[in-house]
Amino acid sequence: MILLGMAPCTTMVFVWGQLVKGDDNYTLVQAQGQSAARVKVVVA
């Protein structure tokens, strides 16, 4: 359930990254770090 709640936000990070022609690898690292931080906060 937690991962489903994060999916739309992560998807929007990639959409905006594509719209501004950003670096896909940088976008991936940022989205992964944000998701990991959220899971850590929710679980803790």
Which DSSP letter does residue 13 get?
H
Supply the pLDDT for residue 2: 52
Supply the pLDDT for residue 7: 64
Supply the pLDDT for residue 1: 43
Distance from C-alpha of 23 to C-alpha of 4, rounded to nearest angstrom: 25
Q: pLDDT for 1-44, tens place per residue? A: 455 555 677 778 888 888 999 998 988 888 888 878 877 777 76
Q: Are 27 and 13 in contact (CB under 8 A)?
A: yes
Give per-residue burial for 7-24: e unless 16+ CB within 10 Å, then b.
eeebeebeeebeeeeeee
Distance from C-alpha of 16 to C-alpha of 19, rounded to nearest angstrom: 5
pTM of the predicted protein model:
0.57
